[in-house]
Structure 1
Amino acid sequence: MILTVTPNPAVDWTVTTDDFAFDAVNVASSSTREASGKGINVSVALQRNGVRTLALFPAGGGTGVFMAEQLAAMGVAALAVPSGAEVRTNITLRVPGHSGTKINEQGAPLGEELAQRLLDAVRSALVGALERHDGVVTLALCGSLPPGTPEWFHPALVGLGRELGAAVVVDASGEVLRRALPAGPGLVKPNVHELAAETGRPLATVGDVVSAARELLGRGAGAVLASLGADGMVYVDAECALHGKASAVSVLNTVGAGDASLAGFLAARAGGAAPAECLASAILYASSAVGHATTLFDVDPALRERITVTAEPEAGLELSEPAQP
C-alpha cells in the first residue's frame, strides 16, 4: 500500500482557449476542475492503474467536499483531515502552441495543531497498513508546504515512516527537502532545476546530474530519482546510476508529468521490480501522462518500446534543458 501525504492540496482548474490576448475578453473553449496536489495526483495515477493507495490531506469547506466527492467518484481511497479552511485553487491556462501556464494559490496556513493531527493520522494509517500486511508499505510526502507549517513537520514524518518500517519518499524542493534530508528518506525526487538549486551547482550534462544526486546521498537520501524534462530521468543509489529516456512521445500537456513519473516508479517498486525497471515504469507513466489534456491518464503499454534505460550513463551527454542554481 502506498500512502501519499499532500499538506497543500488543490483544486486544479484547467481552462483552454483557442487563442489568448492580454487586456481583452478571452472565451474558454473548455474548462475542467479536478481534485489535485502532488500526492493526490500520485494516488489517482496509482489507483487508475491498479495499485492500492490512500491519499491523506487537510481540507475543509465546500472545496473540501468537492475533493472528497471527486476522489470517491474515481475510486481513490482518501482521508481528509478537517482543516476548517477552503482548499486552494490552482489555475492552468492552455493556449495552442504552449504547454500550459499556471497560477497557484499559496494555500491555507498549516499551524502546529493541524500539523500534529496530520502526523497522528499518518501514524494511524501506517500502523493499520502494516498490521494488515499490505505488501511493501510506502509513505510518500509530496509537494509544497502552506504558510505557517512548523519546521519539525517533514523531519517528523520521515522519522515516523522509518520508525514504523515504511519506505519513505520525499517529492519536494527547497527548504522542505533541506529539512527532510537529515532524517534519512529512502528516496527523494527533485527535478533538474530543484537539484541544481539544492546542490548549488550548474547542471549541464547527465554526468553533472549523477554527481549532484550523489551529493544528496551523502546528505541523507537513500536514493535520488531526478526528472530531466525532455532529457528523461536519472536514478542514483549507493549501488548504481541509471539514465532513462523515451523517444517520439507526443506532448499535449506537461502538468502533472512529474507526479505521474513518481507513481510509475512506486508502482513498479511495489511489485518488487529492480531499479532499472522502476525507472522505465516511471518514464512510461510520464510519457503516457503528457499525451492527455488533463492530469487524468491511463498507461499506454505501447510506449514501453520507446523507452531505453542505460546502466552506465554517458557522463558528457549534454542536457537540452541545463539548470542553474
Structure 2
Amino acid sequence: MILTVTPNPAVDWTVTTDSFAFDAVNVASGTTREASGKGINVSVALQRNGVPTRALFPAGGGTGAFMTEQLAAMGVEAVAVPSGAEVRTNITLRVPGHAGTKINEPGAALGEDLARRLLDAVRAALTEALAAYDGGVTLALCGSLPPGTPEWFHPALVSLGRELGAAVVVDASGEVLSRALAAGPGLVKPNVHELAAETGRVLDTVGDVVAAARELLARGAGAVLASLGADGMVYVDADRALHGRARDVRVLNTVGAGDASLAGFLAACDGGAEPAECLASAILYASSAVGHATTLFDVDPALRDRITVTAEPDLTLALAEPARG
C-alpha cells in the first residue's frame, strides 16, 4: 500500500493549440482539466495499474470538490483535508514541436493549523494502512510546499513514517529536500538539476551523478533515485549503483514523467522486487507516460524490451543534459 502526501495539489489545465504567437489571439484545438499535483499523479498512475494507494492533500472550494470528484471517478482513495481555500491551477500549453510549457500558481498558504491537521490525517491513514496491509506500507511525500508551510512539516512527516514503521520516500527539492534529509528518509528522488543544486556539484557524467547521490546517502538518505531525462535514471544505495535507460521511445508530452517514474519504482517495490527490477519499472512507467498527451496513461508492456539496467554503469558516460549546482 502506498500513501502519497501532496501539500500543494493542483488542477492541471492542459491547452493544445495548432500554433502559438505572442500578442495575438490563439485558438485552442483541445483542452483538459485533471486533478493533479506530484503525489496525486503518483497515486493516479498506481491506481490505473492496479497498485493499492491513497492520496492525501489539503483542498477547499469548488476546485477542491472537483479534485475529490475526479479522483473518485478514477477509483483513487482520497483524503482531502479541508483548507478553506481554492486549489491552485497549473497551465500547460502544448504546441506542435514543443514538449510543453507550464505556468504554475504558487498555491494557497499551508499555515501552522492546516499543517498540523494534515499531519494528523497522515498519522491516521498510516495507522490504518499498516494494520490492514501485511506486505508493508510506503509513505511518499511529493512536490513543492505552498507559502507559509512550517519548516518542521517535512521532517515531522519523515519521522512519523519511520516511527510507525513505513518506508518513507521524499520527492522534493531545495530547502524541503535539505530538511527532509536530516530526518533520514528511506529514498529521495531528485532529478539531475535538483541533485546538482542540492550538492553544489557539476554533473557532467553518470559518475558525477553517482558521486552526488552518495553525498546524499552520507547526509541521511537510505537510497537515491535520480532521473536524468534522456539519459535514463540512476539508483544508488549503500550496496550498489545502477543505471537504466530506454531506447526508441516516442515522446509526446514530458509533463508528469518524473511522477510516473516514481510510481513505477514504488509499484515494483510494493511487489517485493529487487532494486534493479524497481529501476526498470520506473523507466517503463516513465516511457509509457511520455507517449500520452496528458498525465493519464497505462503501462505499455511492449516497451519492456527497450529498457536496459546495468549494475556496472559506464561512469565516464557524458550526460546529454548536464547540470550545474
Shorter-chain TM-score bucket reads over 0.9
In structure 1, C-alpha distance between the alignment counterparts of 2:133 and 2:2, rounded to whole Å: 12
Q: Secondary structure at the match of 1:235?
A: strand
Deviations 1:42-86 (A, max 9, x none): 000000000000000000000000000000000001000000000
What is the alpha-carbon distance in structure 1 between the residues aligned to residue 108 and residue 262 of structure 2?
Answer: 26
1:244 alignment partner AA = G
SS in 2 for 1:297: coil
> Residues 236-247 of structure 1: matches in 2 within 5 Å?
236-247=236-247
In structure 2, the residue matched to 1:113 is 113
Q: Deviations over 1:243-300 (max 9, x none)?
A: 0000000000000000000000000000000000000000000000000000000000
Aligned letter for 1:298? D
Which structure 2 residues correspond to residues 129-140 of structure 1 after superposition, within 5 A? Answer: 129-140=129-140
* CA distance, structure 2, for counterparts of residue 181 and residue 44 of structure 1: 26
Corresponding residue SS for 1:183:
coil
Q: Distance in 2 between matches of 1:102 and 1:169?
A: 25
Residue identity in the other structure for 1:309: V
Aligned equivalents of 1:40 and 1:267: distance in 2?
15
Identity %: 86
Work out whether 1:84 is the aligned partner of 2:81. no
What is the Cα-based RMSD across aligned positions, in Å? 0.4
**Counterpart residue number, 1:182:** 182
Distance 2:274 2:201 in 1: 30
Q: Does 1:230 pair with 2:230?
A: yes
Question: 1:321 is paired with a residue of what secondary structure?
Answer: strand
Which whole-Å CA distance do the structure 2 matches of 1:214 and 1:136 have between them?
26
SS at match of 2:266: helix
SS at match of 1:91: strand
Other-structure match for 2:200: 200
Measure, in 2, the Cα distance between the counterparts of 1:130 and 1:282.
24
Q: 1:134 Cα deviation (Å)? A: 4.6
SS in structure 1 at match of 2:93: strand
Name the amino acid aligned to 1:252: L
Unpaired runs of at least 5, structure 1? none
Alignment partner of 1:308 is 2:308: yes
Structure 2's unaligned 5+ residue stretches are none
1:249 aligns with 2:219: no
Q: Provide the C-alpha distance between the structure 1 equivalents of 2:149 and 2:158, rounded to a whole number of angstroms.
A: 15
SS of the equivalent of 2:42 reads helix
Q: 2: distance between equivalents of 1:133 and 1:270?
A: 11
Name the counterpart of 2:122.
Answer: 122
Q: TM-score, normalised on structure 1?
A: 1.00
- Does 1:103 find its partner at 2:91? no
Secondary structure class of the residue paired with 1:313? coil
Secondary structure of the equivalent of 1:170? Answer: strand
Give the Cα–Cα distance (whole angstroms) in 2 for the partners of residues 132 and 64 of structure 1. Answer: 28
Deviation at 1:133, TM superposition (A): 2.8
Amino acid at match of 2:118: L
**Stretches of 4+ moved more than 4 A in 1?**
none
Look up the match of 2:45: 45
**Which letter maps to 1:272?**
G
Counterpart residue type for residue 47 of structure 1: Q
Code of the aligned partner of 2:161: G
Structural mapping, 1:149-164, within 5 Å: 149-164=149-164
1:74 equivalent in structure 2? 74
Query: Residue type of the partner of 1:145?
Result: L
Q: Which residue identity does 1:11 align to in structure 2?
A: V
Q: Does 1:290 align with 2:290?
A: yes
Q: Distance in 2 between matches of 1:86 and 1:286?
A: 30
TM-score, normalised via structure 2 length: 1.00
- 1:6-17 alignment, distance < 5 Å: 6-17=6-17
SS for the counterpart of 2:298 is coil
Give CA-to-partner distance per residue, 1:111-136, whole Å, 9 cap, x none: 00000000000000000011113522
What are the within-5 Å matches in structure 2 for residues 247-286 of structure 1? 247-286=247-286
CA distance in 2, matches of 1:130, 1:186: 17
Aligned counterparts of 2:222 and 2:130: Cα–Cα separation in 1: 21
Give 3-state SS (helix, strand or coil) of 2:24's partner: coil
Deviations along 1:127-157, one digit per CA (max 9) or x if unpaired, are 0011113522000000000000000000000
Partner Cα distance (1:234, 1:198) in 2: 16
CA–CA separation in structure 2 for the residues paired with 1:21 and 1:134: 55
Counterpart amino acid of 2:65? V
